[in-house]
Amino acid sequence: MNNVKVSIEKTRGGLKKAVAKAIQDAGCHDTISTGDSVLIKPNLNGCSIKGSTSVPLIKAIAQVSYDMGAKKVIIGEGPVKVGKERLQKYFRKMGIQETTKEVGASFVNFDDYEHVIHESVSQDLPEKIGISKYIYEVDRIINVPMLKVHPSTVVTFSMKNLKGCTRPQDKIKFHRLDLQKAIVELNKLVRPHINIIDGIKAMQGTDHNGGDIVDLGLIFCSKDIVAVDSVASYTIGIQPETIRLIKLGNEAGLGESDLSKIDITGEDLESNRRRFELPEEAMARRFPDLRILKEGACSACLANLMDALGWAGGLRNFGTIVLGKDKPDVDDAILIGNCTRKYWAEYTHVKGCPPTSMEIANALSKNSLSGTIFVDD
């Protein structure tokens, strides 16, 4: 029998029951000891309620943590920097603070408190990186991402969710480095004890915050962060070995990506498989006339472009979009980001490293757009 376990559970019988069974089946039942302090790290990005971890699931995990012997439970997140007023409105609509009080836990915004600074850890990380002090002040960490596709990393599950433990400036810097390698290095610094992926209402399509909801009705659980991401990826129709982030995580020794070496318990894997639409596939379907030239483009520009197209794709005045080191080959082109500055004199362009989603959307449509533009979490 394989030592690495991943459990898949359906939630139709009740969330608390499903969480308890998932933890048991994944061999995590002895992870929390009597008197432990537990940090639950969901994806509460501050941008999109439908693109966030389910609050009822967070509540169930807190309840089960107490049942396992936890003395103290903290729910913590470092959301996207969207402004205090907008963030508070998001938290109110989510109901996270009220729910936290109901179960006797506490809620913290990591960015309101100190971060532990690490210097010169890796060439694939910023020179200085700050990680929430709460990571180091608790006995156990439960990592609870939402199951979503992503324009930069294909999927955004357990490994990527840890980016929320860093300072706002570090989140931006990650996208100016090799994003996947930076996430892997971060995963060496932050090691959750349990990973539970929220696939109750998962997300496919145009982007990771404003895509289409899929009623998958599943949660995935494991001690192994790479294994649980691999099983979840396969469940939505993607071979884990084709996802660079998962491959790099396996090569770095963070966990197992070979499904044949993983003991998958609970629900049957094959009968629960679905084929999720990826962001670029969704854009190609919606806008068959659109060309995106992106050789050498960074993940930040690509992610913000996908967000902008979700809002302004149908209003755009350009048939070709150029990013990174690619060269425009038609007159009907718009250039995105500072990497294209070589051709700015001849083409409409959007400055920035990266330019924001709103800036790109406005340039694409030649109009002033109002409303929420989702950004990366």
What per-residue confidence (pLDDT) applies to 376? 46
State the Cα–Cα distance between residues 300 and 173, nearest whole angstrom: 9
pLDDT, one tens digit per residue, over 94-146 is 999 999 999 999 999 999 999 999 999 999 999 999 999 999 999 999 999 99
Inter-residue contact 304 to 80 (CB < 8 Å): no
What per-residue confidence (pLDDT) applies to 373? 36
What per-residue confidence (pLDDT) applies to 155? 94
Inter-residue contact 108 to 96 (CB < 8 Å): no
What per-residue confidence (pLDDT) applies to 327? 92
Whether the predicted pLDDT of 315 surpasses 90:
no
Residues facing residue 39 across a β-bridge: 74, 141
DSSP states of 156-201 as a string? ESHHHHGGGGB-HHHHHHHHHS-HHHHHHHHHHH---SEEEEEEEE
Q: Residue with structure tokens 């599943």?
A: 218
Provide the residue ranges of all domains of the chain, joining segments of one domain with +: 4-272, 287-365
Among 217, 219, 215, 223, CA closest to 232 = 219
State the Cα–Cα distance between residues 250 and 215, nearest whole angstrom: 29
Whether the predicted pLDDT of 369 surpasses 60:
no
Do domains 4-272 and 287-365 share one topology? The answer is: yes
What per-residue confidence (pLDDT) applies to 370? 43
pLDDT, one tens digit per residue, over 40-49 is 999 998 888 9
Inter-residue contact 32 to 134 (CB < 8 Å): no
What per-residue confidence (pLDDT) applies to 301? 83
State the Cα–Cα distance between residues 366 and 356, nearest whole angstrom: 15
How far CA 174 is from CA of 134, 156, 295, in Å, comes to 21, 15, 19
Least confident segment among 38-47, 179-188, 247-256, 313-322 = 313-322
Which CATH number does the domain 4-272 belong to among 3.90.280.10, 2.40.33.10, 3.40.50.11440, 3.40.50.300? 3.40.50.11440
The answer to pTM > 0.75 is yes
Q: What is the dihedral of CA 367, 372, 375, 377, to 10 degrees?
A: 180
What per-residue confidence (pLDDT) applies to 80? 85
Among 144, 146, 279, CA closest to 202 = 146
Q: Is 119 helix (H, G, I), strand (E, B) or coil?
A: strand
CATH number attached to the domain at 287-365:
3.40.50
What per-residue confidence (pLDDT) applies to 1? 56
Report whether the peptide linkage leading into residue 42 is cis, meaning its omega lies within 30 degrees of zero.
Answer: no
Question: Residue range 346-363: average pLDDT?
Answer: 87
DSSP states of 38-74 as a string? EEEEE---SS-STTS--HHHHHHHHHHHHHTT-SEEE
pLDDT, one tens digit per residue, over 61-97 is 999 999 999 999 999 999 988 888 999 999 999 999 9
> What's the mean per-residue pLDDT of the chain?
92
State the Cα–Cα distance between residues 264 and 112, nearest whole angstrom: 39
What per-residue confidence (pLDDT) applies to 245? 94
Inter-residue contact 70 to 232 (CB < 8 Å): no
